A and B are shown apart, each in its own frame.
Chain A
Amino acid sequence: MKKISAIALAVLALSGCESLSSPVVRFDRQVNYGDAKAVELVTNEFGSTDLQMIAEKMVGSLLESGAFEGRPLVTISSVKNKTSEYIDTTNVMNSIQTALVKSGRVRFTRSIAEMQTGVDELQRQNQSGLYKSSGTAKVGNMSAAKFMLEGELTSIVKQNSNTKDVFYKFTLKMFDVEGGTIEWQDEKQIRKTSKR
């Protein structure tokens, strides 16, 4: 009886352990999705977590400063990369812009980099002869930005035989386009240290 009970328990336990397959297509070299918001510590070069931290700090500072009273029009200028690394700084500004647009407190106009595609579309609608004039977007009706956001990313790298220390500083300024004054400014400092 004791032997039968033990076998019965083992069978029950094993049947409970049988796992269902997951709905994935997998090959020998397994790939998995990771957490896009996890802290990335692969190397001490500029990474996804740095981009996210910078964007969150800048957006938070802008929103609570009251600089966007009246839902003004803002445009993005370039972000100068003054580090020795290749960094797509457009990425940082895109993240900042996305969060600000979603806040509902600010409107953005086309940046200088985005202007050509807008002009091309207006020309296509008005000069190609393909569209009804009553439905086309008219030239000369764009809204101009009141403020302009400009950024700069710098780094200081120090290393010896067993330690490499990288200090990043991202500075973002908001200029009044007409007056040329700085209406808001903030910075984010990041230190990443690696040991051999």
Chain B
Amino acid sequence: MTPKFLVIVLAAAALGGLAQAQTLATATPAAVAGKLVVRGSADKVAVREIRATRNSDFMSVQADFYNPERSDHYVFYRFRWIDGAGNQVGDGEAWKQLLLLGQAQETVKSVAPTPAAVDFRIEMNAEKK
């Protein structure tokens, strides 16, 4: 292997690692995707719909996770709340593990810790059971 070839191979490997983009299942609508922060790949798990309301001045969000595959998946998720200035509200939620059976949909829900929350993100990653 010549040095020039070795350099090209190393560069390609480095760029490939750096360029690994977050991938979302294609069934996730674009409007929903903007609220998701996916760690690595969502492994075909889609977020079909997100609904946000305000109850008693607290933002309440529900998200529908859907597993289009026949095999069961684990989804790790948590909600992150953001105030009007873009700062995180509260100390951050704990991660939750959700068992998503094959071709099943589960709704997860969370309520903001203070009325200051006006926006949110859902952090998630998925893996096969």
Contacts and interface: CB of A to CB of B under 8 A. Distances in A.
A9 B113 contact: no
Contact of A61 (B94, B96, B111): B111
Contact of A66 (B55, B60, B92): B55
A2 B60 CA distance: 64
A63 B56 contact: yes
B97 interface: yes
B97 A39 contact: yes
Interface size on A, as a range, is 20 to 34
Interface string A1-13: 0100110010001
Contacts of B113: 59, 63, 99, 102-103
Contact of A9 (B3, B58, B92, B111): B3
Interface residues of B, number: 23
Interface string B80-102: 00000000001011111100000
Given A37-B78, A63-B58, A56 B93 contact: yes
Nearest to B93: A56
Most A CB atoms within 10 A — which of B55, B94, B97, B113?
Answer: B94
A66 B56 contact: yes
A57 B34 CA distance: 25
Contacts of B76: 39
Contacts of B18: none
A39 B114 contact: no
A59 B110 CA distance: 10
A72 interface: no
A64 B56 contact: yes
Interface in A62-110: 63-66, 68-69, 99, 102-104
A6 to B, nearest CB: 4
Contacts of A41: 97
A49 interface: yes
Contacts of A66: 55-56
B92 A37 contact: yes
B56 A104 contact: no
Contacts of B3: 2, 5-6, 9
B99 to A, nearest CB: 9
Contacts of A52: 93-94
Interface of B: 2-3, 7, 10, 55-56, 58, 60, 76, 78, 90, 92-97, 109-111, 113-115
Interface of A: 2, 5-6, 9, 13, 35, 37-39, 41, 48-49, 52-53, 56, 59-61, 63-66, 68-69, 99, 102-104
